[in-house]
């Protein structure tokens, strides 16, 4: 859904992110941190103009074309390292700190590719990406638990009376439903706070950005539809719903429902 002239550059950025994520999570135990150090050294070589790895050869062209700073790429590695070292978050603020490295850099990279990065748009993109990450945490409680990770703030778990033995047993208690509902509401607020970004990006990027937001809202809709039972099955957005989202966002844009923001 991104403009044709940007698709290869989006693929180049995605390749960097995909490789980094796989180096962290899909390698032998204990190797992730060393491999991420190697990946960051390749990033440094890319910015120094001496890249040899195919991912960085391609990424270097994108970096030069759009004058992308190193920070968002490096921030993603901070999050991947954090996943190697930390599996629990005491407070929601700590979780937001993780999102600032794991999710928000992706939105900022999109703004650079759309050639419209500036502070206001960056703040809105952060809201969208944080909302998407929070929605994903709700969606993947069971999947993350099997990896030894929990992205539900421990202070909230205690407040709702959810302890780790409940999660380990795979039982979706009423307390867990209420906890996930609370987190889903947080995710929705963040997504809707970022929705004005759609009208602030170039026209040929608006459908993609609208789908980022509404895709996240669709995940939350599925979580609610299954009554927040995220332990026994993973809520997903089906093909029919995806098509409905695409057509709905396209039609709203065509009708001018997203007006230029002042």
Per domain, the residue ranges of the chain are: 1-85, 86-262
Q: How confident is the model at residue 260 (pLDDT cuts 50, 70, 90)?
A: very low
DSSP string, 7-48: HHHHHHHHHHHHHHHHHHHSS-TT-HHHHHHHHHHHHHHHHT
User: pTM of the predicted model, to two decimals?
Assistant: 0.93
Q: What is the pLDDT of residue 123?
A: 98
Q: Give me the mean pLDDT over the 146-165 stretch.
A: 94
Q: Going by C-beta distance under 8 Å and a sequence separation of 6 or more, which residues neighbour residue 89? A: 95, 98, 150, 151, 153, 154
Q: What is the pLDDT of residue 159?
A: 97
Pick the CATH number of 86-262 from 3.30.230.70, 1.10.600.10, 1.10.150.120, 3.40.50.620: 1.10.600.10
Whether the pLDDT of residue 166 is over 90: the answer is no
Alpha carbon distance 175, 184 (integer Å): 14
Summarize pLDDT for 208-246 with one digit per residue, the tens.
Answer: 999 999 999 999 999 999 999 999 889 999 999 999 999
Whether the pLDDT of residue 259 is over 70: the answer is no
Place of tokens 């180096």: 23
Summarize pLDDT for 205-217 with one digit per residue, the tens.
Answer: 999 999 999 999 9
Summarize pLDDT for 30-87 with one digit per residue, the tens.
Answer: 788 999 999 999 999 999 999 899 999 999 999 999 999 999 999 999 999 999 999 9
Alpha carbon distance 190, 128 (integer Å): 6
């Amino acid at each position: 859904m991104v403009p044709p002239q940007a698709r290869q550059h989006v693929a180049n950025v995605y390749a960097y992110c995909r490789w980094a994520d796989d180096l962290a999570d899909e390698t032998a135990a204990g190797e992730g941190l060393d491999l991420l150090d190697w990946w960051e050294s390749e990033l440094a070589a890319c910015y120094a103009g001496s890249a040899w790895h195919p991912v960085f050869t391609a990424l270097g062209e994108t970096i030069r074309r759009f004058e992308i700073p190193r920070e968002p790429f490096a921030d993603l590695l901070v999050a991947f390292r954090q996943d190697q070292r930390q599996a629990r978050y005491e407070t929601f603020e700590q979780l937001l700190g993780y999102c600032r490295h794991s999710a928000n850099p992706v939105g900022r990279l999109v703004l650079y590719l759309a050639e419209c990065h500036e502070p206001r748009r960056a703040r809105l993109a952060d809201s969208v990406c944080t909302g998407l990450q929070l929605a994903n945490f709700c969606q993947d409680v069971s999947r993350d638990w099997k990896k030894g990770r929990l992205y539900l703030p421990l202070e909230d778990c205690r407040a709702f009376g959810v302890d780790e033995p409940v999660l380990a047993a795979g039982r979706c208690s009423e307390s867990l439903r209420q906890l996930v509902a609370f987190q889903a509401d947080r995710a929705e607020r963040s997504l809707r706070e970022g929705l004005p970004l759609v009208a602030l990006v170039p026209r040929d990027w608006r459908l993609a950005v609208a789908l980022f937001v509404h895709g996240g809202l669709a995940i939350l809709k599925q979580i609610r539809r299954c009554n927040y039972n995220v332990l026994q099955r993973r809520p997903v957005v089906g093909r029919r719903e995806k098509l409905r989202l695409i057509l709905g966002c396209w039609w709203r844009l065509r009708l001018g429902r997203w007006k230029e923001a002042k």
